[in-house]
Structure 1
Amino acid sequence: MNTINKAPYSFQRRYAGQVKAVICDWAGTTVDFGSRAPIMAFMTLFENHGVAVTEAQCREPMGTEKSVHIRMMLAMPEIQEKWQAVKGLASTEEDVMALYHEFLPIQLETIRLTGGLIPGWKQVSDDLRAQGIKLGGNTGYNEQMYAVVAEVAKEAGYEADVNVCATEVSKGRPYPYMAQAVMEKLEILEAQACIKIDDTETGIEEGLNAGMWTVAVAVSGNANGLSLEQWQALPGDEQEAIAVKARKKMALSGAHYVIDSVAELPAVIDDINRKLASGERP
């Protein structure tokens, strides 16, 4: 009887080290409280064509690459009906790309207007670097849009170690390719040593598909949608009601953790380090 000798080692490598990298989305996660820049740009874009869209419609595809976002908005029955009423024909792929090219300068301007750091992120990012944790970024913005994001963030005191745009990979979120490309740039082997942080469901799905720990931010991003000034102007009870709704929404994304903003990240990293030390994986 033939037998197969078992190898004296396993290919299932058990990682019990510390968190090595944090990979963050930008708008709504590390900059642009309420993720206002894309919404302002999409609303202006469609209004320029006589098609009124709501903020909720603009937010539904958030996290995707921007031409995909436009395509998904045009596929919404209400928007498509308005488009045909104005244009006389159903939208085409040529319309999508024409809108995308029109969108670019509008988006660049709104990024400059709303690109401030999320409160607390400067101190948290400095502390993470002091611990030896690498900081990567990825985004549904293209390279030109990201260049403006990076410029505004740098002026406020923050730079990511590396970044990957959706237009730099074959497919953006929810595919894991951007997060994996950040890992490659950071020269990190273990996905379980990485944390993906995002304010959209599709961004969390990206991290899950990449085999990483995932952290959803609720109040600072898309699930809230208010600017920092609007948020701070609300009384405490209204803030809490919005926060509860936003936390519930982001919990449905399947994220391992839900926090209000990246200011709360250090406690999450401590808990993940504890889990890794005991042999747990995402």
Structure 2
Amino acid sequence: MQPIRIAMTSFDTTSARLSPLQAVIFDWAGTLVDFGSLAPTQIFVEAFATFGITITLAQARGPMGLSKWDHIHQLLKEESIAAQWQQVFGRAPADADVDAIYARFMPMQIAKVGEFSAPIAGAVETLQWLRANGLKVGSCSGYPREVLDQLLPRAAAAGIAPDHVVAGDELPAGGRPGPFMALANVLALGIGDVRACVKVDDTVPGIAEGRNAGMWTVGLSLSGNEVGYSPEEFAKAPQQEVEDRVAAAQARLKNAGAHHVVRSVAELPRVLAQMAAGMRAGRMPG
């Protein structure tokens, strides 16, 4: 397999470049680890199949970024999927059915997530650069805590270890697109101003989360759910196809409210330096 073709930003450790930024809050799959956000996608397909329901990978990707229960709930609202459920079970899907699929999904996801814990190119170096520049590193995920408990040790062994992690099922207020997981990071990290935080995510709900929290937002196009290549597919993809997919992903993330969109976390340092310079000139996220 050819190496993933992502340009790396040169890293400058002059901390004044990032003042007054204080923290960056990352998503996980498709952002820091799991190029293409493959781990959750395939498991949704497999979990629905155990109920006799066929969904495509594209359908499975649609609500990505939500908590997994909410993700399943949204899929069951899709007309073609709801019609299949009606045909198989003789009734419309209900919340109890979401619970049943979720119960089937969870052990499958727990068993598989460790296979998708490899850092995305540039992620380790970017986290090192942030800390060298005095920024704190938070994170949150649509994954439940049971899944993260499997992912986090493997990611840490590979060099991905944020200062704080919030799971998609552990806040009573809920998950994305609400601001709650991002704001839980603000509290845990002791950040004095949400406007000095940057939310980095590869999904539309994740960008909405950051905007609803009053933060800067950076969307990731190529590495995440919106493009959805596996590393093997990306290595073989024609350049024009890649560019077309990236352009479509960039448009969706910008329409969701992303202040900036880059291809992957490897390009983040350049954008953060631009944000910090803008803040020093009086610009704030709005």
Per-residue CA distance 1:205-241 (angstroms, 9 max, x = gap): 1100101000000000011111122112223333222
Give the aligned partner of residue 25 of structure 1.
27
1:187: how far off?
A: 0.5
Q: Which residue of 2 aligns with 1:76?
A: 78
2:184 to 181, 204, 227: 181
Q: State the match for 1:241 in structure 2.
A: 244
Determine the C-alpha separation between the residues in 2 that align with 1:96 and 1:248. Answer: 31
Amino acid at match of 1:228: P
Equivalent residue number for residue 97 of structure 1: 99
Match of 1:6 in 2: none
- Where does 1:40-189 land on structure 2 (aligned, <5 Å)? 40-169=42-171, 170-189=173-192
In the superposition, the TM-score normalised over structure 2's length comes to: 0.90
Distance 1:234 1:76 in 2: 30
**2:241 corresponds to 1:230:** no
CA distance in 2, matches of 1:185, 1:62: 25
Matched AA of 2:178:
Y
Mapped to 2, the partners of 1:148 and 1:219 lie a distance apart of 25
User: How many residue pairs are counted as aligned between the two chains?
Assistant: 267
- Structure 1 runs of 4+ off > 6 angstroms? none
The amino acid of 1:71's aligned partner reads: H
- In structure 1, the partner of 2:265 is 262
Partner of 2:212: 209
One-letter code of the match for 1:117?
A: P
Q: Mind listing any 5+ residue stretches in structure 1 that lack a counterpart?
A: 1-15
Contact 1:40 1:110 in 2 (8 A): no
Quote how far apart the aligned CAs of 1:119 are: 0.6
Q: In the alignment, what sits opposite 1:39?
A: 41
SS across alignment from 1:214: strand
Matched to 2:160, the amino acid is Y
Please list the CA deviations of residues 41-76 of structure 1 after superposition, one character each: whole Å capped at 9, or x if unmatched: 100001111110011211111111111111111111
Larger radius of gyration: 1
Q: Does 1:199 align with 2:202?
A: yes
Alpha-carbon separation, structure 1, partners of 2:108 and 2:93 = 21
Residue type of the partner of 1:35?
S
CA RMSD of aligned residues (A): 1.3
* Equivalent-residue separation in structure 1 for 2:212 and 2:244 (angstroms): 31
Q: State the alpha-carbon separation in 2 of the partners of residues 252 and 171 from structure 1.
A: 23
- TM, length-normalised to structure 1: 0.92
Which residue identity does 2:175 align to in structure 1? G
Deviation at 1:17, TM superposition (A): 4.2
**For 2:57 and 2:233, how far apart are their aligned partners in 1?**
15
Alpha-carbon deviations, 1:134-192, whole Å to 9, x = none?
A: 11100111111111221221121110100111212111111101100000000001011
Match of 2:3 in 1: none
Distance in 1 of aligned mates of 2:278 and 2:58 = 37
The answer to whether residue 196 in structure 2 is matched with residue 190 in structure 1 is: no
